[in-house]
């Protein structure tokens, strides 16, 4: 029995005068990995950023329709965006550690929530780094700058940083697109482990990646949600011709 974590109803997103997302209605289950695929500019990343309201930061973005998380409309006037983003974490395409130590990168989230107790912070940092499968690589140099880590390590550090805030949902925007194959497979393994405790929504250009790690896949094209189903079904027997054309590499 799957519980629904996120659902949208007839959601439209305007970017200036351009209609970037058209009539998106989707139900995303809890503690599963949901992948968004589609060619560049199809709106999948824009949609992802609507789920933690990061689009609020972009001038000219207007959203119609509703997005519910745990049956709460996150675009309601009374919603505190800061609280929402604690619940809905995000990992970006390009790893973006702060110019601080490894420890302080992870402690950043708890600290902004007012936690300054050294012991508790130590615990959170260790747990987050363990959950992001990077603890063994960095445990002896927590005081070193995070910028000294490799690209793959930096990205796992950013995942750990997100986990340290204790979110329920983790949004990932092409988290492995800038990484080498070995780092990519580490991130993929990690994502599969994470779904035990977190609802994961991942945007990816890499269809094999979507096929390998996701439970459900949504195919976006030109701002529309063309097809959304079990990953297996999407990749073996899609209903729509456009989906089939895309996954077989005929365009995109």
Three-state SS annotation for 45-79: HHHHHHCCCHHHHCCCEEEEEEEEECCEECCCCCC
| Binds other proteins (CB under 8 A): choice among 33, 67, 74, 90 | 90
Q: What's the min distance (Å) between Cβ of 85 and other proteins?
A: 4
Burial class (CB in 10 A: 0-12, 13-18, 19+), 59: exposed
Q: What's the min distance (Å) between Cβ of 33 and other proteins?
A: 19
| Binds other proteins (CB under 8 A): choice among 17, 40, 78, 83 | 83
Question: Alpha-carbon distance 38 to 45, whole Å?
Answer: 10
31 binds other proteins (CB under 8 A): no
158-177 residues in contact with other proteins (CB under 8 A) are: 158, 161-162, 165
Alpha helices in 12-134 (DSSP H): 44-50, 81-87, 102-112, 118-131
Applying CB under 8 A, what is the total number of residues that bind other proteins?
25
Cross-strand partners of 80: none
15 binds other proteins (CB under 8 A): no
DSSP H/E element including 37: strand 33-37
Q: What's the min distance (Å) between Cβ of 98 and other proteins?
A: 6
100-159 residues in contact with other proteins (CB under 8 A) are: 108-109, 111-113, 158
Residue number with CB closer to other proteins (111 or 130): 111
Q: What's the min distance (Å) between Cβ of 165 and other proteins?
A: 6
Question: Alpha-carbon distance 125 to 119, whole Å?
Answer: 10
Residue number with CB closer to other proteins (94 or 241): 94
* Contact by Cβ (8 Å): 56, 81: yes
**31 φ/ψ sector (left φ>0, alpha ψ -120 to 50, else beta):** left
Burial class (CB in 10 A: 0-12, 13-18, 19+), 118: exposed
Residue number with CB closer to other proteins (162 or 184): 162
Q: What's the min distance (Å) between Cβ of 212 and other proteins?
A: 25
99 binds other proteins (CB under 8 A): yes
Binding residues for other proteins, rule: CB under 8 A, are 52, 54, 57, 59, 82-83, 85-86, 89-90, 92, 94, 96-99, 108-109, 111-113, 158, 161-162, 165
């Amino acid at each position: 029995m799957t519980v629904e974590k996120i659902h949208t109803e007839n959601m439209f997103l305007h970017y200036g005068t351009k209609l970037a997302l058209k009539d998106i209605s989707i139900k995303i289950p809890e503690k599963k990995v949901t992948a968004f695929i589609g060619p560049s500019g199809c709106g999948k990343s824009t949609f992802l950023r609507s789920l933690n309201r990061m689009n609020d930061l972009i001038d000219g973005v207007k959203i119609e329709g509703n997005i519910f998380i745990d049956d709460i409309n996150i675009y309601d006037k009374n919603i505190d965006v800061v609280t929402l983003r604690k619940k809905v974490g995000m990992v970006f395409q390009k790893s973006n550690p702060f110019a601080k130590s490894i420890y302080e990168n992870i402690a950043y989230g708890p600290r902004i929530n007012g936690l300054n107790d050294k012991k508790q912070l130590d615990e959170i940092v260790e747990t987050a780094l363990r959950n992001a499968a990077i603890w063994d690589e960095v445990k002896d140099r927590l005081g070193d700058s995070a910028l000294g880590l490799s690209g793959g390590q930096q990205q796992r550090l950013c995942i750990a940083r997100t986990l340290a805030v204790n979110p329920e949902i983790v949004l990932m925007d092409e988290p492995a697109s800038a990484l080498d194959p070995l780092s990519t497979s580490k991130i993929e393994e990690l994502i599969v482990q994470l779904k035990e405790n977190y609802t994961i929504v991942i945007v990816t250009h890499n269809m094999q990646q979507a096929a390998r790690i996701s439970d459900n896949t949504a195919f976006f094209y030109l701002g529309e949600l063309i097809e959304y189903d079990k990953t297996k079904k999407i990749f073996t027997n899609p209903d729509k011709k456009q989906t089939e054309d895309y996954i077989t590499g005929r365009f995109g």
